[in-house]
Structure 1
Amino acid sequence: MVDIDDAGKAEVARPSESRRDPEWLRDRLSEWIKHHEGEDAAVTEVTIPESNGMSSETILAKARWGGVERDIVVRVAPQADSDPVFPSYNLDGQFRLIEYVRANCDIPLPTLWWSEPSDAALGAPFFVMDRVNGEVPPDVMPYNFGSWVSEATPEQRNQMMRDSVRVLAQIHAAPAPADLVSHPEPGETALAAHLRRLREFYDWAAEGRAGSPLIERAFAWAEENLPATEDAVLTWGDARIGNIMYRDFTPVAVLDWEMATVGPRELDIAWMIFLHRFFQDLAAMAGMDGLPDFLRRDDVATEYLQQTGYRPTDLDFYTTYAALIHAVIMFRIQCRAIHFGQAQEPADPDEMILHRPTLEAMLNGTYWGQVK
């Protein structure tokens, strides 16, 4: 059994506060919005959430233009001295991708206003969108440890599962854009390209330090067991309920598109399944019941089949691959924590992977047999 606080280890490198002063932000955003909407426009208030994103910064603001008071969200690229999670960021690309998805897909998305690709105004690129009212399943503490999700009825959670799978189905039905997401190289499948890019990201994250033997083993397993599929639909990438805002258990905003690409639809399906299993395994380690009846693998796959007519395949591979992706991201996040003195370098690099037992069991083919 682990201490319940271990559930927050993945968040240790998440910025607890902005490096930017709220009053400075308000003045700079006001000046910037006046340039776009005229002298009557203004930003009247800026709030920086206590828990911010690990890959970009979220700023909440109240603004006025066109005689209308508005609640807005400003997504700002990370500053170079924050040792960003990913080697590069393209917020303008995300902005244009969200516009594309809105035009080609019937899913709820925030209204977008502007994208600013230069760093002149705030010291980093950013984009502006409307703030949507709703609830997001929390990561800290995880929603299955006690939240509005765990307090819901089984029927409400089942509705939440169905509607969340519908989001995936609708994204996958949209035509993949030619220039807004990464595509495979000639002679390469989309899945092989995804694995190659993940390997490149891990090599960058591990440069100059001891790598993880478990991650290396998982890469070898993935290369050996890679399904021979030509499937290449638009995938959301970070397809988890923690990136969906809900109202009455129905999605009202689909957020965070930085991991979008083309690939097999199972990438999204398995990611949604695995991220719940990640939290569920943490609950079990902490001696808690969690939500074992929520987002079960067979339920999600069956719901996807009913909605689309497509039966997800090779889910043993894709859920294990999802665990590998998550391991690489967690490894990078812990590297940041070590860099900022928030954590010590472990003697065993595999200790940087909180779901180490899960990934090991998946690689051994024993994980799903023990899941009730």
Structure 2
Amino acid sequence: MGVIVAPETRDLDGLAVQLAAWLSRRIPGSDDVRVENLAYPHGAGRSHETILFDARWSIDGRPQTQSCVVRIKPMRHTVFPDDLFEQQYRVMQVMHEQGRVRVARPLWFEHDASLLGAPFFVMERVRGRVAVSVPPYAKEGWVAEATPAQRARMWENGVRQLAAVQSTPLDSVQFLRGPKGAEEGLAQEWDKYVRFVAWVSRDRPWPVLEKGLERLRANWPSNQPPGLVWGDARLGNMMFDDNFEVVAVMDWEQPSLGGALHDLAWWLVLSETMHGAASGRPLEGMGTREETIALWRELTGISAADVEWYEDFTHLKMSCTGVRLAQLGKMPFPDEAWLTKRLKVGGAA
């Protein structure tokens, strides 16, 4: 059994009553609405309060059931400087309607913060298994116990869904445009993390992060293909069935129009960290970095030139998130000497 890593938790019995009353208003003609089996997922869901539940009701005497997930907007324990809560729901709507990327079916969005203390949305619960971070999936659990052939199937299916994100027509997600001067492309992602560095540096300077930005800016990539950014592209944000097929791609909380290579780079870095040599236990069957890039290029038709720069940018992004989680008391502050090495800035930070 994993551990609950939600940013905060609440009384689930009380939540069941609140959700039942809310659903009775949301579902036309419904009677005797009940909400049962509430639970927090284990080992995942660090940035948003996410709760599983079953809803039961009747319409004209006919019983109805729906397994659901409610995702509640973080109000106090915010990991990211940008509020994209409604945008993540809208991205999932687009993904579900287009059918290229497998996502849970979005059901309802609630703007009224008075109901649960924050806006929230409900989506259909998809049944499957998740490669959790706590405990690390490379060390124990169903991924570690799978055969090399099963892991190879999981890796390939994961990369195929990663690539499918880039088949999303950008005109269908124009609601993701950024601020003036950074509406889309690399400029949008760059602006986001320049502001992120400033945000986490308000109470304590982090010159190593500033140096990381300077190094990246001095080595600006020439290859900047357009594309949708999922934002947290990793195996642990996919759900798999018993045949190691992807049944859901999850956690769209930081999407943008920033370009195709950000997700590929994020996937590569997290693969190395979680199940590559950096994990201490490389998993046989998982594709190598080179194999992942080759399959992604074949599927998307997009050049992966300069992906190394995007991997370095990923390290900067993850460092910002690590500092912020430490500020929230969720993990120790990163060692600045370690950050200096990670961000390749050299010298004393």
TM-score range, shorter chain: 0.7 to 0.9
Residue identity matched to 1:101:
M
Indicate the SS of the match to 1:124: coil
> CA offsets per residue over residues 48-85 of structure 1, 9 Å max, x none?
345452221011112113422222110011232xx321
How many aligned positions are there? Answer: 337
Q: How far does the alpha carbon of each residue in 1:263-295 deviate from its partner, in whole angstroms, 9 at most, with x for none?
A: 2311111111101112257855xxx43327634
2:21 is matched with 31
Separation of aligned partners in 2, 1:94 and 1:16: 18
Note the alpha carbon deviations across 1:282-337, whole angstroms, 9 max, x for none.
855xxx43327634211111111222333311121111111111111111111111
Q: Is the 8 A contact 2:152 2:286 kept in 1?
A: yes
- Secondary structure at the aligned position of 1:41 is classed as strand
Are 1:249 and 2:235 an aligned pair?
no
**Distance (whole Å) between structure 1 residues aligned to residue 36 and residue 303 of structure 2:** 51
State how 1:1-372 maps to structure 2 within 5 Å.
14-15=5-6, 18=9, 20-37=10-27, 38-51=30-43, 53-66=45-58, 67-80=63-76, 83-176=77-170, 177-183=172-178, 185-186=180-181, 190-211=185-206, 213-247=207-241, 248-280=243-275, 288-291=280-283, 294-337=286-329, 343=332, 349=336, 357-360=341-344
**AA in 1 matched with 2:195:** E
User: Counterparts of 2:7 and 2:74 in 1: how far apart (Å)?
Assistant: 14
My pick for the range that moved more, 110-119 or 36-45, is 36-45
SS in 2 for 1:260: coil
Partner Cα distance (1:87, 1:311) in 2: 31
**Paired residue for 1:370?**
none
Verify the 8 A CA contact 2:225 2:261 in the aligned structure 1: no
Take 1:180 and 1:350, find their aligned partners in 2: how far apart are those partners?
Answer: 39
Q: Secondary structure of 1:109's partner?
A: coil
Q: 1:178 to 1:51 in 2, by over 3 A?
A: closer
Change (3 A) 1:293 1:199: farther
Query: Structure 1 residues 161 and 311, CA, compared in 2 at 3 Å: closer, same or farther?
Result: farther
Unaligned runs of 5+ in 1: 1-7, 365-372
* Contact map agreement 1:320 1:359 (CA 8 A) in 2: yes
What root-mean-square deviation, in Å, do the aligned CA atoms of Structure 1 and Structure 2 show? Answer: 2.7
Contact 1:185 1:193 (C-alpha < 8 Å) held by counterparts: no
| Structure 1 residues 327 and 292: alpha-carbon distance in aligned structure 2, compared to 1, 3 A threshold | farther
Q: Is the 8 A contact 1:234 1:262 kept in 2?
A: yes
Does structure 2 conserve the Cα–Cα contact (< 8 Å) formed by 1:273 and 1:295?
Answer: no
Classify 1:189/1:180 alpha carbon distance in 2 versus 1 (closer, same or farther; 3 Å).
closer
Distance (whole Å) between structure 1 residues aligned to residue 141 and residue 301 of structure 2: 33
The one-letter code sitting in structure 2 at the alignment partner of 1:206 is S
- 1:161 Cα deviation after fit: 1.8
| Cα drift, residue 44 of structure 1 | 3.0
Structure 1 distance, partners of 2:321, 2:123, is: 27
Residues 44 and 132 in structure 2, CA contact (< 8 A), matched pair in contact too: no
Contact preservation (8 Å) 1:52, 1:58: no
The percentage of aligned residue pairs carrying the same residue is: 31
**Corresponding residue SS for 1:252:** strand
Aligned-partner SS, 1:99: helix
Aligned residues of 1:59 and 1:73 also touching (Cα < 8 A): yes
Deviations 1:113-154 (A, max 9, x none): 111012121111111111111111110121112232222222
SS at match of 2:138: helix
Partner of 1:144, secondary structure, is coil
